[in-house]
Structure 1
């Protein structure tokens, strides 16, 4: 287990369980090959080295933003917590090539529902990492993110718990 920042007592806080949005191996953000994510400038969370190119909803929620190149989105839980899921590093340069969105901004989604499919081999063959950060983007987030580093299955394995 690892513990992220903790700005307040979590004993009276709600814990949100976040299922893994990808199958693969979970990693600490510090191992993401991008300084903004690795130094947590984008938010607290974890990353996944995907083993298959299917991104699913990590909880029931609403897609609040889908990047035009379909490599990233923000999904919001009913508690207001928002997660940025960014498939690969610098993959915006692919301009959507190798990515297909199965949802749009404003769509309500259910845990395990397919959101984006992508071609891992194309990402890697194009010279990019497929490592996918999953980070809390709420500015007012003052909780803690806990999780362990292991093999995870999309929509079935818990990736992390977040103290709200």
Structure 2
């Protein structure tokens, strides 16, 4: 039987007791539950715990210093291992009509290392025509403490999208 990851709940940043890590957002936009992602496996939490962002700019920045393990799906999925060992899947859900190579204005092809806030990919997509959802999924966070999304709106590389707290009574 497949065990699904628990969802990340909203909790204002001032109400999170014992935070041990803040993961900077790789996207800018409105934060949504992971269930909002169009990929059923990601939305169900089969790959890990995470959140989505309804993006207002189709720009994906690195949320950490680390290694790019894999780039998949027309430069729309990145597997990254942070220097602290945390593994993340960063996923952009764009219509196939908007993932054409001529619309990809920046990418990380050939890179193995990445720095915090470094651009991973940017699509020149008219957002009024295309719905763009980004997801950050923590692939190996099972042994960490509780995870929360502390903000309802985030700016890429400037605000935390996920805060990890030590296990404790809140």
Q: What TM-score comes out, normalization by structure 1 length?
A: 0.76
Q: State the alpha-carbon separation in 2 of the partners of residues 132 and 25 from structure 1.
A: 10
Unaligned runs of 5+ residues in structure 2 are 1-7, 11-17
Structure 2 equivalent of residue 162 of structure 1: 164
The question of 1:2 aligning with 2:9 is answered yes
Number of aligned positions between the proteins: 152
Q: What TM-score comes out, normalization by structure 2 length?
A: 0.73
Asked if structure 2 preserves the Cα contact closer than 8 Å seen for 1:145 and 1:163, the reply is yes
Structure 1 equivalent of residue 155 of structure 2: 153
163 and 83 in structure 1: CA distance in 2 versus 1, 3 angstrom threshold: farther
The question of 1:113 aligning with 2:118 is answered yes
Q: State the alpha-carbon separation in 2 of the partners of residues 142 and 91 from structure 1.
A: 36
**CA RMSD across the alignment:** 3.1
Unaligned runs of 5+ residues in structure 1 are 4-10
CA apart distance, 1:156: 0.3
105 and 16 in structure 1: CA distance in 2 versus 1, 3 angstrom threshold: farther
Runs of 4+ in structure 1 deviating by more than 6 angstroms, as ranges, are none
1:135 to 127, 134, 137: 137
